[in-house]
Amino acid sequence: MKHHLRLWTALFAMLALVAASCGDAEEEAEVAEPTTTAAAPEPEPEPEPEMADPGTPGNIPDPGTAAGRFDGVEVVVAGPAGQLDYMKDKAAEWAAETGATVRVDEIPFGELNDKVLAALSTDTFIADIINIGSNLGGDLMGGGFMAAAPEWAQERADWEGILPIFRSNQLSFGGVAYGMPWDGDVLMYYWRADAFEAHADAYEAATGNALRPAESWSEYAAIAKFFTENDWSGQDEGYGLVELPMRNNQGWNGFMTRAAGYAKAPNDPGFFFDPETMEPRINNPGFVRALEDWGAVIEYGPPGMLNFGWIENALSFVGGLAAQDIQWGDIGPMSKSPDSVVEGAVGYGPAPGADEYWDPVAEEWASGDGPNKAPFLGFGGWFNLVPATSNHLAAAFDLASFLGSPAVLAEAAVTAGTGVNPGTAATLDVDLWVSAGWPEDEAKAYTDAIRASLDHPNAVFDMRLPGFPEYKDALELAVSEALSGQHSAQDALDEAADKWNEITDRLGRDEQLRIYREALGLTG
C-alpha cells in the first residue's frame, strides 16, 4: 500500500503542477496547432480566399446550367441514415447531368448532430452538403460555420414557393438565407376515422357527448378514456392514444405540442420565454397544467409508452393499436405503406387546443372562441446546408438547390422514407397527392390539416436559440420526472425554469434575448 500512497501524492503533485502552469502550456499548444479549432479558435479567423464570407451572398458565381459543368468534381453529402437513400438516387441524376460524382456519407441518426458539431468546430472537413435538422441548423448558421446561399440557388429552389414560416425560421438566420429546402415539419393530430364512426353511438351513450375529432385536449382525453376502456380495435388490445414522451428522444416535441395550446397566448408573441426579460415561462400555470393534464392521460396509451420514441409511436398507430396519435406528417404516407393496417381509415387535423390558456401578461386564465390552438412546428424540419469549409461551394449549392427544387420535393413528399413533409407550394398541392394514388378527399384532408397548422396565426416555431440542446435536456428531464411520478409538475418545471435561467445567464442574457426576439420577428 505504501507504493500506492506514493503514487497518489505524485499524481496530485503532477496535477497541481499542470494546473498551475496550464495557461502557458495551453497557449503553447495553440501556437503549435495553428488551425482554427474549438480548442484554440483564433479570435479573428482570417478569411481564406476560397472560403465564403458568411453573410454576404452572391460571391459564389452562378455556374449556369450547362451539362458537364462540374466535370471531375466530387461532392460529399452527409446526413442521417435513412432518408439519404432517396437523396442518393436523386443526386445520381444530378451527377449524371453535371459530370460530377457524389459521395453520400450516412451518419447514424442519434449521433448526427454530435458528429457534425465535432467536425465543424474543429474545422475538420465533413461534407459539402449537410442534411440537418432545424434545431441545430440555427446554431450552425449563427455560429458562422455555413456559407450563405447565393441568389441563383434560391431561385432554383423556388424560394417564393416555400411557406414564409420556413423561409424565415428554418432556412435563414439573422436575416441571411443559408439553407436549401427539404422538409417542413409540424406535429398534428391523427385519429381512427373508422373507429370513430363505428363507436359514435356507444360513445354518446357513455359520455353524453357526440363523438367528433377532438378540438380540445379535454375532449381528446375523454375519447382516449373511452377507447381504452372499450374493445374497438379488433385486436387483443386497443388504446385511446399514443404520444411521444421519451426523454432524450422526442419528449420535447411531445410536451410542447400539448403545452402550446395552454401557454401560447394569441395576444403575446412569446412562448418559451418572456420576450421582454428572457424570463422562462415554462413554470407558469399554463405549462404546469399542460404537464398535469398530460400525465393524467398517459395511462390511456400502450404499456411502456413513457419509453416510446418516434418509431414505436408511429407503428402503434399504423399498426392499429391506438385510436388517436400526435405525430409529424409522416403518418400520412406511412398509413399507405405495407406496414399499415389503417389505410384509408385515418383522420387528419391540427393538434387540439386548450379550453383555457394562460395569459402571461394579465397573469390569468383566459379563453376565446373555442379552444386555443397553437400548432407546434417541433424540430422545424430537415434542410440542407453548405459548410464554409466546402471546397466546391458552387457545385454544392447547385446540387442542394436541385434537391430543393419543386419537382424533386414533390416526388419526395409522396414517397415514404424520404424525410420530406410538405412545407412548400409544390408539396401541398392536392393534385400531387391524388396523382400519387390518394383518394381526393383524403388528399385534401391531409394537405388542409398541414396547411391549417402551418398557416395558423398562433403557430409556434420550435426553439432556435444558442444552447437549445441544454434547454431541451433540462425540460425533458423535468417532464420525464413528472410523468414517472418522481416530482409534481410544478416542482419539476420550477426546477427546469431555474436551470433555464442559469443557462441563459451563462450564455449571456442580453444576447439570448436579442436572438429570441429576432426569431419572433420582434425588432428593437
Instruction: Give 237 or 431: the residue with its C-beta nearer to another protein.
Output: 237
Which one-letter DSSP state was computed for residue 403?
H
As a whole number of angstroms, the distance between CA 404 and CA 385 comes to 11
Instruction: Give 303 or 457: the residue with its C-beta nearer to another protein.
Output: 303
The distance of closest approach from Cβ of residue 227 to another protein in the complex, given in angstroms and rounded to an integer, is 16
Count, residues in the chain: 524
The distance of closest approach from Cβ of residue 468 to another protein in the complex, given in angstroms and rounded to an integer, is 9
φ/ψ of 158, rounded to 5, equals: 55, 60
Q: Are 126 and 78 in contact (CB under 8 A)?
A: yes
As a whole number of angstroms, the distance between CA 401 and CA 407 comes to 11
Instruction: Give 310 or 365: the residue with its C-beta nearer to another protein.
Output: 310
Instruction: Give 331 or 354: the residue with its C-beta nearer to another protein.
Output: 331
The distance of closest approach from Cβ of residue 132 to another protein in the complex, given in angstroms and rounded to an integer, is 11
In angstroms, the Cα distances linking 381 to 16, 252, 462 are 48, 15, 10
Instruction: Give 291 or 374: the residue with its C-beta nearer to another protein.
Output: 291
Instruction: Give 236 or 363: the residue with its C-beta nearer to another protein.
Output: 236
Closest-CA residue to 181 (of 147, 158, 152)? 158
DSSP β-bridge partners for residue 79: 106
As a whole number of angstroms, the distance between CA 506 and CA 422 comes to 37
Question: What are 240's three cell numbers?
Answer: 385511446
DSSP β-bridge partners for residue 325: 190, 242
Q: Are 327 and 313 in contact (CB under 8 A)?
A: yes
The distance of closest approach from Cβ of residue 402 to another protein in the complex, given in angstroms and rounded to an integer, is 21
Alpha helices for 282-392 (secondary structure H): 285-297, 310-318, 331-335
Instruction: Give 126 or 180: the residue with its C-beta nearer to another protein.
Output: 126
DSSP β-bridge partners for residue 359: 364
The distance of closest approach from Cβ of residue 197 to another protein in the complex, given in angstroms and rounded to an integer, is 22
The distance of closest approach from Cβ of residue 62 to another protein in the complex, given in angstroms and rounded to an integer, is 29
The distance of closest approach from Cβ of residue 467 to another protein in the complex, given in angstroms and rounded to an integer, is 7
Ramachandran assignment for 106, one of left (phi > 0), alpha (psi -120 to 50 degrees), beta (any other): beta
3-state SS, 363-374, equals: CEEECECECECC
Instruction: Give 350 or 419: the residue with its C-beta nearer to another protein.
Output: 419
The distance of closest approach from Cβ of residue 387 to another protein in the complex, given in angstroms and rounded to an integer, is 13
Instruction: Give 103 or 444: the residue with its C-beta nearer to another protein.
Output: 103
Instruction: Give 145 or 196: the residue with its C-beta nearer to another protein.
Output: 145
Alpha helices for 53-146 (secondary structure H): 84-98, 112-121, 134-142
The distance of closest approach from Cβ of residue 274 to another protein in the complex, given in angstroms and rounded to an integer, is 23
129-133 and 382-385 as β-strands: parallel, antiparallel, unpaired?
antiparallel
Closest-CA residue to 189 (of 294, 325, 316)? 325
As a whole number of angstroms, the distance between CA 288 and CA 256 comes to 12
Q: Are 283 and 152 in contact (CB under 8 A)?
A: no
The distance of closest approach from Cβ of residue 391 to another protein in the complex, given in angstroms and rounded to an integer, is 15
The distance of closest approach from Cβ of residue 58 to another protein in the complex, given in angstroms and rounded to an integer, is 23
3-state SS, 109-120, equals: HHHHHHHHHHHH
Instruction: Give 251 or 375: the residue with its C-beta nearer to another protein.
Output: 251
Closest-CA residue to 396 (of 197, 126, 183, 216)? 126
